[in-house]
Amino acid sequence: MEGIKDIKELLSKPKLISLIAHRNPDGDAIGSCLALAKYLEKFGHTSNVIMPSEHPSVFSYLAGVNEISVYDLNRELAIEKLEKSDIIFCLDFNALDRIDTLGPTIQFAKGKKIMIDHHLDPEPFADYYLSDTTASSTCELVYKFIEMLDGKDKIDVEMGECILTGIITDTGSFKYATTPDVYRIASELKVLGVDDYKLQNFIFNSLTEKQLRLLGHAINNRMEIMKEYGVGIVVLNKYDFEEYQISRGDTEGIVNYLLMIKDVQVAVFFRQQPSIIKISFRSKGDVSVQELARDHFRGGGHKNASGGAAYGGLNKVINTFKEQVPNYFSKLEI
Ligand code: 5GP
Ligand code: MN
């Protein structure tokens, strides 16, 4: 990593440090911030973890999660912490629009900004970058960052649980984006005493009855397959949101089920929220959804997992997507 010497120098005296991740934080966003925050505190730094919005309750088992400052709940406090910080770690995001209206606060904050991230096309707002789009997760990169700082012996079980959580969630339980390093780190964490079975159980066996029924409804009644292109679509409209009392996190993971169909190469999931339509994109293998998300839905992310959003009527947005399908994906050879 370029600048690692400067960073070591920066961290050689106690500092006031903020760590922030993207809106609607997932396991990787929360895990990477909490692990690194705990590491820094072991060296006498003061660390504040800030999230633009609340985290899904499934991650409440992570150590330190109750100390997170949520910008949506107390804007002044989050801004004050960021403005005062000597160093700001930007984790698991690469563009200022991923942290909403906190973008300008970060951009103009006096502290040194260090980005640790694995998304495509990072924006040039930070002072130092550990950006690796081949990494499974930001948690993997936080582990490697700690190795670069020669501090691996400071990783404890609680930090390990945070790191392994991000690796598990961003690889879909070691199904994609795996590399030898992913298994190496997972193995080292297991040697340390991190209970992977416990984490898998917390993360994947924690649905409520309502959430499982919602999944059934989505697949049974709201799924469409564009056979010619191998594109699977699930749509949840505002009536579904009312009927199932859908709240944050309830729709997590639904998009992935589409990929279980053999001939589906691209999965798309539309959610009609009060003022915006949120979209998740997933794909298999060499097929990329990142360009379509970026070009037409103000989004992006990774080759096989992207997100985006659109304003306007639900049908219009779905039709825009369908019209673009032939421009981004090839017909299946059947
Ligand atoms: P999800 O579909 O789970 O919300 O997001 C999948 C991936 O796409 C994540 O890696 C996330 O970082 C990225 N992503 C989600 N929403 C957006 C967005 O609005 N803009 C950009 N640039 N990336 C997004
Ligand atoms: Mn991530």
Question: Mean per-residue pLDDT for 34-46?
Answer: 98
Q: Cα(95)–Cα(116) distance, rounded to whole angstroms?
A: 12
- The model's pLDDT over 8-24, given as tens digits with 9 standing for 90+, comes to 999 999 999 999 999 99
**300 Cβ neighbours under 8 A, 6+ residues apart:** 95, 119, 120, 121, 290, 293, 294, 306, 307, 308
Edge-to-edge strand list for the sheet holding 223-226: 223-226, 231-236, 266-272, 277-283, 305-310, 300-301
Q: Cα(333)–Cα(297) distance, rounded to whole angstroms?
A: 28
**Ligand 1 nearest-atom number relative to CA 24:** 4
> What is the CATH superfamily name and number for domain 4-204?
inorganic pyrophosphatase (n-terminal core) (3.90.1640.10)
- The model's pLDDT over 99-139, given as tens digits with 9 standing for 90+, comes to 989 999 999 999 999 999 999 999 999 999 999 999 999 99
Residue nearest to atom 10 of ligand 1 (CA): 301
pLDDT tops 90 at residue 248? no
Q: Which-ligand-closest: CA of 24?
A: 1
Q: Which of 274, 271, 281, 224 is nearest to 249 (CA)?
A: 271
Residue nearest to atom 14 of ligand 1 (CA): 307
Q: Cα(9)–Cα(284) distance, rounded to whole angstroms?
A: 43
For ligand 2, a single-atom ion, which residues have Cβ within 5 Å?
A: 28, 92, 138, 170
- The model's pLDDT over 131-171, given as tens digits with 9 standing for 90+, comes to 999 999 999 999 999 999 999 999 999 999 999 999 999 99
209-328 maps to which CATH number? Answer: 3.10.310.30
Q: Cα(48)–Cα(200) distance, rounded to whole angstroms?
A: 27
Q: Where are the domains of the chain?
A: 4-204, 209-328
pLDDT attached to residue 249: 83
Residue nearest to atom 4 of ligand 1 (CA): 307
The whole-model pTM stands at 0.94
- Whether 82 and 18 have beta carbons less than 8 Å apart is answered as yes
